[in-house]
A = this chain, B = another copy of it.
């Protein structure tokens, strides 16, 4: 109970950050045309939670100054989330290496001397470096594409991609760039790196550079699950989506990959029209958005590690085992509890949300409601076009889902990190959820 403090502090911090953003966007200098208080609140929550859903067109509703406010909200929202979830992730890991010497060699091995301040500085440096490279690559592409402010657009979209925010200054996201290989690769690389997060990416880089002999166990799980979801998602959309069936094979593959990547990393950009995809594609996107990205990154969703734990659970039950294993390792009960709790809470929150949206949006089709709710709780930002048509109640429901979706995982993580009567049960945490 003594560690429930940080969760409350975190919630308060997030809420005051949202209020600050709301105030910033409420000034006249931020608005290109008069905006309602609810719409600016929606933008503030969407930006801080790095969701990217928007009731109004960001590019034309806000002035240049307003767009800079949105950019700052995304940037600090993303960095704040990545450092917050990383600390949680590492605290589980430290706990591990103290109690279980056997597995210590495969746990994350940050130098003992590292301080929180130093760690945060590393994350910020890493973030800015990635975003700078991204902006540099995007600038000539967007300039050639005829954007009005190509440099700002390059910076904005690079930050938006790395923070998996999916906010775009373009009202059609990136539809005209569906066949542009450099743009697709840049946005995808930024989103995937942002969604995996600093710790995992540095672990991979250290291994490739020969500085580490093993991947940390969680890195293995995260890398394999990310690859699996991207490959399966791309294949299914490639085969099941009629609107891209007429494209040349390479372009079609690229469009399928970009959309699968967008849903899976929860960045939320699109190069095809989400409002007119087939029902089979909707199911694939819903699944990818629901599972979401990885812990210690900027993405949302249930998390790849929770999904891995659930697969392990199902397999163990069907094999008649009481202990749950994944990649030949036992998944600790506390983390399995967090994964199953997340799953149950997600299902419950979505049921309540879609029920309320059913009442508040009587004209909207069922698939649009479900898609909007899953996109909001997973902080993805893809939409079948419902966002701008939402009623007041509908906007409030989506705002609540974005906040719950962003804070949920951290709160559950903290909750399970609290030792109960039997602290020895938590001995072998290994797979963070």
Complex CA–CA separation, A271 to B199 (angstroms): 58
Q: Give the residue of B281, B310, B334, B367 whose beta carbon is less than 8 angstroms from that of A322.
A: B334
Which residues 339-381 in A have Cβ within 8 Å of B in the complex?
Answer: 340-341, 343-345, 347-348, 351, 354-359, 362, 364-367, 369-370
**Whole-angstrom distance between the Cβ of A127 and the nearest chain B Cβ:** 31
Determine whether the beta carbon of A416 is less than 8 Å from that of B320: yes
Q: Given the known inter-chain contacts A240-B355, A344-B310, A420-B322, please indicate yes or no for A279 contacting B337, CB distance below 8 A.
A: no
Determine whether the beta carbon of A318 is less than 8 Å from that of B415: yes
**Whole-angstrom distance between the Cβ of A242 and the nearest chain B Cβ:** 9
Complex CA–CA separation, A180 to B366 (angstroms): 32
Q: Which of A14-22, A160-168, A202-210, A282-290 contacts B (4 or more CB under 8 A)?
A: A282-290
Residue of B nearest to A242 (CB): B362
Count residues of A near B (Cβ-Cβ below 8 Å).
60
Best-buried of A280, A286, A365 by chain B (most CB within 10 Å): A280
The verdict on A388 contacting chain B, using a C-beta distance below 8 Å, is: no
Determine whether the beta carbon of A282 is less than 8 Å from that of B358: yes
The verdict on A314 contacting chain B, using a C-beta distance below 8 Å, is: yes
A348 neighbours in B (Cβ, 8 Å): 314
The verdict on A317 contacting chain B, using a C-beta distance below 8 Å, is: yes
The verdict on A60 contacting chain B, using a C-beta distance below 8 Å, is: no
Q: Give the residue of B1, B283, B351 whose beta carbon is less than 8 angstroms from that of A358.
A: B283
The verdict on A418 contacting chain B, using a C-beta distance below 8 Å, is: yes
Give the number of times this chain occurs in the complex, counting copies: 2
Best-buried of A278, A359, A362 by chain B (most CB within 10 Å): A359
**Whole-angstrom distance between the Cβ of A413 and the nearest chain B Cβ:** 10
Interface of A (DSSP majority class): helix
Complex CA–CA separation, A362 to B358 (angstroms): 23
A416 neighbours in B (Cβ, 8 Å): 317, 320, 322
Mask of A222-242 contacts with B, CB within 8 angstroms, 1/0: 000000000000001000100
What residues of chain A have their CB less than 8 Å away from a CB belonging to chain B?
1, 4, 236, 240, 278-284, 286-287, 310, 313-314, 316-324, 333-334, 336-338, 340-341, 343-345, 347-348, 351, 354-359, 362, 364-367, 369-370, 412, 415-416, 418, 420-422, 425-426
Complex CA–CA separation, A348 to B322 (angstroms): 21
A281 neighbours in B (Cβ, 8 Å): 358
Given contacts A4-B320, A319-B415, A340-B340, 14 further A-B contacts (CB under 8 A): A279-B354, A279-B362, A280-B358, A280-B359, A283-B354, A287-B351, A314-B341, A320-B420, A321-B420, A322-B333, A323-B420, A340-B344, A366-B370, A367-B367
**Whole-angstrom distance between the Cβ of A234 and the nearest chain B Cβ:** 15
Determine whether the beta carbon of A279 is less than 8 Å from that of B366: yes
Determine whether the beta carbon of B322 is less than 8 Å from that of A425: yes
Q: Given the known inter-chain contacts A279-B369, A313-B337, A313-B344, please indicate yes or no for A284 contacting B321, CB distance below 8 A.
A: no
Determine whether the beta carbon of B370 is less than 8 Å from that of A426: no
A336 neighbours in B (Cβ, 8 Å): 340
Q: What are 8 A-B residue pairs whose CB atoms fall within 8 Å in the complex?
A: A279-B364, A283-B358, A314-B344, A322-B334, A322-B421, A323-B421, A323-B422, A366-B370
A320 neighbours in B (Cβ, 8 Å): 1, 4, 415-416, 418, 420
